[in-house]
Chains A and B, each alone.
Chain A
């Protein structure tokens, strides 16, 4: 069974950074892309970027370049996202989601989401 288990909720101060994790199981991590997505309360879902589990190759939404950094640890089948210089606009739920096999750019499995709250 494919599972994506995200780390717990974060309360961080403005200007700080946070690192979110997404531990996977049930499939071959290095054969798939992992994406990260942002959902603000009652709003659209935004695609932040993706990273290939095999070699760590990344692609970002221009909007999130400089804000988000994606990495992977193949040994633990875990994907990470660093968010830097946090502001209130970064308060949201963040999901990791596995991209479907091959070149398909939709998401067949999602983590449970993690709430990030930026507040002093």
Chain B
């Protein structure tokens, strides 16, 4: 199985600050990577797919980048509604696997 190592596990950011979350795959995944946001008690919502494509309706302050085994999610200008857990998911090979998540809080 492809292991997804996500960092940091938790992060605290001020409003307006730019934050980055990283995922490292145990093997190359050819940009087959998605990012999800999960607010407390809710189901995950797709933010980014194919490493850098923004899902319809997602604010443009969210962006994704990376290649090979290293990928990142950037939030340019933290907003109160961005406080949530964030997960990466490789969509390259079965079984589909997720990172362990990053808890993002407002400082």
Q: Enumerate chain A interface residues (CB-CB to B < 8 A).
A: 35, 43-47, 59, 61-63, 95, 97, 100, 104-108, 110-113
Out of B32, B44, B49, B98, which one reaches A46, CB within 8 Å? B98
The contact size tier of chain B is: 20 to 34
Pair count A-B, CB < 8 A: 52
> Taking the complex as formed, is B95 at the interface, i.e. its CB lies under 8 A from any CB of chain A?
yes
B67 to chain A, nearest CB (A): 17
B99 to chain A, nearest CB (A): 8
Contact A47 B96 (CB under 8 A): yes
How many Å lie between the Cα of A47 and that of B97 in the bound state? Answer: 7
| Residues of A contacting B: mostly | mixed
| Residues of B contacting A: mostly | loop
Can you report 14 residue pairs joining A to B where beta carbons are below 8 Å apart?
Answer: A44-B98, A44-B99, A45-B44, A46-B98, A59-B94, A97-B44, A104-B49, A106-B34, A106-B89, A108-B46, A110-B43, A110-B44, A111-B43, A112-B43
B61 to chain A, nearest CB (A): 20
Given contacts A45-B89, A47-B95, A107-B34, 9 further A-B contacts (CB under 8 A): A44-B98, A45-B44, A47-B97, A106-B34, A106-B89, A107-B36, A107-B89, A110-B43, A110-B44
